[in-house]
Chains A and B, each alone.
Chain A
Amino acid sequence: MRFGTRISNIALVLALGLAAGPALAQTVAITGGRLALGDGSEPIEGGTVVIRDGRVVAAGRGVAVPAGAQQIDAAGRWVTPGIVAGFSRVGLIEVDAVGATNDASASNSPFSAAIDVVPAINPRAAAVAVSRTGGVTRAAVAPETARSIFAGQGAIIDLAADMDPITRARAFQYVELGEQGADEAGGSRASAHVLFRNALREARDLSRYSGIPGGGGAAREPRASDQRDFPLEEVPDNRLLAAGAQRSDDVLLTRFDAAALVPVLQGRQRLLVHAERASDILQVLALKREFPNLRLVLVGATEGWTVADRIRAAGVPVIANALNDLPATFEQLAATQSNVARMKAAGVDVSLGLINNEEARQIRLSTQYAGNLVALGKVPGATGVSWGEALRMITSGPAEALGLGAEIGSLKAGRRADVVVWDGDPLENGSAPLLVMIDGVQQPLDNHQTKLRDRYRRAGEGNLPKAYER
C-alpha cells in the first residue's frame, strides 16, 4: 500500500476517457483494472467487465470486449461491484437532530408493523449523494421502533441521482427482541416475546378469517428460494383490510398492523430481528420451531460468536456491526472485533451493516470497517477474514441475505450493473471512487460537501464574498 501522490479526482475521471451521461443503451467495457467480483473471490489482475442495458454481461479475466463497446481503461485502478449497506437508514433522515427531517421512527403513530419506509425515502437527501460519492450503490433501509417491538417494513434502495430509488419495496419487516425490544414491550424481554407471538397470532387469525389460502402460517413444502423471493407489490393484501375480513374482539394490533404481518408469518417477507445477547439470539432461533415459515435474518448479534454453531445449524443469516468491541450495553458483554470472522469460520452466513447511530449518514464507512476485519488476520489471537471475503460482506453478502443476490451485489452475469472504479484498494483508508455506475448509468460524484470544499479551497476572500464563488 502507498500513500503517495494523487492527482485530483477530476483529472482521473478524464483520464478514464468517460463520456458523461447515461450509458444505458450502449455496451461498455471496463478493462485492465484489478477486478473484484464481490462473491468472496480474490481480485483478478487485468479483469474486464462488460455492461449492456444496465446489466452485467460478463466479468472476469479473458472476457472479450464486444465490437463497438465504449471502453474504459481502468489500468492501475480497482473495479468492484457497488457497495451494499446491509442495514441503514439512508434516505430517511436529512439531519438527525432536526425532527422535521427525521423519518426513522414515529413515536406518536398508532401504527407499527404496517409502517412502510417507501413514502419517506428521499433520494435527494444529502446522505444519499455523500454515500454514493463513497461508492455505496444500494442499501437496506429499515425503520426504527418507537412504541412497539415492530418497527415496520424496510426497503432495498439504490443511491442513484434520480427520483426512483426503490429496488424492492417491503423487503423485510424489522423487529426488536433484545434490550430495545424489552423497552418497547413495556419493560421486559418476556413481554416482548409474548407481544411477538400475539402479533403473529392476530396475523394468522386475520388471514384465516379472510379466507386467504395458506394464511394460517402452517408448515408448507419448502420451495426454491427464488420462487419465494418475489417482490411484495401488494402488501397488505387488500382482502385482509376488507370489511368482510373478520377479527376477534380480543386484539391488540390495528388491522393494518396485523395484515402487514401476514406475509411475515407465511414466509413471503423476511423478518429482520435485532438481538445482541447470546441468549436473545437463541430465543430468536427458537421461533423457527413455533413458526416454521419465518425467514429470519439476525441483525446485530454482537455475542453471536459464542453461539455460532447454533446460528449455523439454524441456517439463519446474520447482518452484524463490523467492529463492536466494547461492552456498550449488558447485552454486548462478549463484544470483540473478531465476532464477524469467528461466526464466518463457524459456517454462519454473515454480512455487515451499520447498526449504530451512523446508519443514516455514514454507510460510506462500510469499506473501512470491512478493511479492519482483514487487519485482524495479523493480530495474534484475533480472527480476521480474507480480502475477498471482506468485500463480499459489503456487496453480495447482504444482497443474498436480503433476497436480492440474483439482482445486486456482485459482478456476475445478469446482475444490475452497479460498478465502482476506485483509485486504489477500496478497503483502504486512502481510497475513493473515480467512477460510480448504478444500473449502468454513470453517477455524479459531486455533492454539498464537495462544493463546500471547492469554495473554501483557498483561505480568505477575493474580490467578492465567498457567496459568489461556485
Chain B
Amino acid sequence: MKGAFAAAAALILLSACTRDEAPRSASSEAAPAKPRTYSRDPFPSTYRAYPGVPTAITGATIFDGEGGRIENGTIVLADGVIRAVGGPDTAIPDGATRIDGRGKWVTPGIIDVHSHLGDYPSPSVEAHQDGNEITGPVRPEVWAEHSVWPQDPGFTRALTNGGVTALQILPGSANLFGGRSVTLKNVPGRTMQQMKFPGAPYGLKMACGENPKRVYGSRNQMPASRMANVAVMRQTWARAQEYDRRWDKYEKDGGEMPGRDLAMDTLRGVLDGEIMVHNHCYRADEMANIIDMSKEFGYKVSTFHHAVEAYKIADLLKDNGICAALWADWWGFKMEAYDGINENIPLVHNAGACTIVHSDDPNGIQRLNQEAAKALAAGRRMGFQIPDEIAWTWLAINPAKAIGVADRTGSLKVGKMADVVLWNGHPFSVYTRPAEVWIDGALMYDAADPSRRPVTDFELGQPGEGDVK
C-alpha cells in the first residue's frame, strides 16, 4: 500500500515539476526547438499566504496527522511553515507568540477530499446549481473551478466550526466523466485563483452506478444501465488513448499539431499520471469493475468516493493501493446506499487500505472530526483497537495523499505548510470546537477574536452578519 502510494506520489511530483516546462523550453534559445504544446495550467493559482507571526503552542496534546502523538507537546510555526514539533524541551524562538495549549489538542488542519462548496453554494437557489453539467454523460472538459463562487458562506463555516484548511471541490456525479476537480486552500479570496492550492494536481471526477444511468436513461439516452455505464466509459478511454498517442508523437517528433479537444486533454492528463482519478462509486461489485477498467486502459484510481460497500472489498482496495473516502454513517437514501454500515471506515482501515473521512456536504464538512470519532468508536466496539492519533490520519495525511498534496500539507512535519488547528478539547469529542486555525502560518480563525472570523460578501448587511455561526 505505502509503496504503491509513494510511487504514485512520486509520479505526481515529477509531473508537477515538468508539466509547465514545455512552453518555456519551446521559447528557450539554448534548447533544441520543441513543438509548441498547450498549457497545463491556464488558470494559475494566485494564492499568497497571509502574514503570520512566529507562534509557539506549548503543553498541548499533538496528533501529527501521520499517526504520531505527543503529550505535553510544543509546535512552532514561523514563515508560513512548521518550524519545530516535539516535547516540552522544544526550542522556542525569541519573540514568538506563545499560546498555552494545556488541556487542548493540536492537529493538522482537516482536509476534505469531497466538497461541492462554491459549486453548490448557499443559498441553494436554482441560479447557484453549478456542479453538474447534465448535458451529456461524458464531460471531462468542464472544470469545477470555473463554477466556484468564492463568496459561498459554507467555506467560512468549514473553517470556523470544522477546522478545514484545504478541500477538493469536485463536479457532481450526474455524469460518468464529471470534469476536473480543483483543490483550494480554505482562505477567502475574491477569485477562485486566490484560493487555489499552489501546485496541487488536478483530479478527474468519475461516477458509476445509479446517477449517470438515471439521468440519461430517463431521457432515453445512453447510459440507461450499469452495463452501458461501463461501455461508455471504456469507449471514451479508448478515444483518449488514441488522442494521447497522437499528442505524444507530436510532442516528441513535431509535425502538424493535432487538434485540441479539451475533454481529451483531461483524460490524457490521467493517462499520463498528471491528473488523479476520483471515482464516485457505492457498490463493491462496481468498484471491482472500475479497477479492472483502469488496468485495461493503464491509469490508476486514486480514490473511490462514498464507497458505502468498501468494507466488502477492503482487501481489493488494499491490494490495488486505492483510497476509500467515506461517510461515518450515511445509508439508505438510495438503493446503492442500502448496505451502508457504521463500521465501513474501521473495517477498511483494519484491512490496511487507505481510509479517508469525507463530507460531500456543507454541514458534514463542519463536523468531520465528529464523523471520524463515530467511526472510530464503531470500530472499537467490534474489537479494533485503533488509537486516536492513528484515526486522525483519516482526516489529514490520507486525504492529502489522495489529492496529491501530501508533500506539502496533511501532517505536522517540519517544513510543511503551517496548516494547524488548536482545539478547545479532545477533537473526537462532541463538546469540542476549534479555538484557533492557522493556514500557512497565518491566523485565519480565533474563536476569542471576532475580527478573526471571516464574513462573506453575501452575508454583509444581512441579519446575523458577523455572528458566531
Contact = CB atoms under 8 A, between A and B. Distances in A.
Given A1-B429, A127-B332, 12 more contacts: A3-B376, A3-B428, A8-B383, A94-B332, A325-B469, A361-B332, A361-B333, A362-B329, A430-B377, A430-B380, A432-B378, A449-B331
A328 B468 contact: no
Nearest to A375: B431
Interface string A233-271: 000000000000000000000000000000000000000
Closest 9 CB pairs of A and B: A371-B430, A430-B377, A429-B373, A97-B334, A334-B463, A334-B464, A381-B468, A382-B468, A325-B469
A394 to B, nearest CB: 13
B88 interface: no
Contacts of B341: 449-450, 452-453
B357 interface: no
Chain A interface: which size bin? 35 or more
A304 to B, nearest CB: 12
A284 interface: no
Given A3-B373, A361-B331, A375 B430 contact: yes
A325 B161 contact: yes
Contact of A430 (B376, B425, B459, B468): B376
A285 interface: no
Interface string A146-189: 00000000000000000000000000000000000000000000
B358 interface: no
A134 B314 CA distance: 26
A432 B425 contact: no
Please classify the interface of chain B as helix (H, G, I), strand (E, B), loop, or mixed, using the class held by over half of its residues.
Answer: loop
Contacts of A95: 332-335, 338
Contact of B469 (A329, A335, A459): A335
Contacts of A375: 430-433
B467 A429 contact: no
A170 to B, nearest CB: 27
Interface of A: 1, 3, 5-9, 94-98, 126-127, 130, 278, 303, 306, 323, 325-330, 332-338, 357, 360-362, 365, 368, 371-372, 374-376, 378-382, 423, 427-432, 448-450, 452-453, 456-457, 459-460, 466
A329 B125 CA distance: 7
Contacts of A334: 462-464, 467
A325 B162 CA distance: 12
A336 B377 contact: no
A334 B468 CA distance: 11
Contacts of A278: 463
Contacts of A453: 311, 341-343, 347, 382
Interface in B442-467: 447-448, 450, 458-459, 462-464, 467
Contacts of B425: 378
A1 B426 contact: yes
Contacts of B469: 325-326, 335-337
B123 A328 contact: yes
B339 interface: yes
A238 to B, nearest CB: 39
Contacts of B424: 378-379
Contact of B447 (A368, A380, A452): A380
A336 B467 contact: yes
Contact of B123 (A7, A329, A362, A372): A329
Contacts of B385: 5
Interface string B183-218: 000000000000000000000000000100000000
A345 to B, nearest CB: 14
B373 A430 contact: yes
Contact of B340 (A9, A371, A449): A449
B160 to A, nearest CB: 9
B370 interface: yes
B153 interface: yes
B280 interface: no
B351 interface: yes
Nearest to B284: A456
B124 A328 contact: yes
Contact of B347 (A336, A368, A423, A456): A456
A300 to B, nearest CB: 15
20 contacts: A7-B383, A8-B383, A306-B463, A326-B122, A336-B464, A368-B370, A368-B374, A371-B431, A375-B433, A381-B450, A428-B430, A429-B373, A429-B374, A429-B429, A430-B377, A449-B342, A450-B341, A452-B339, A453-B341, A456-B347
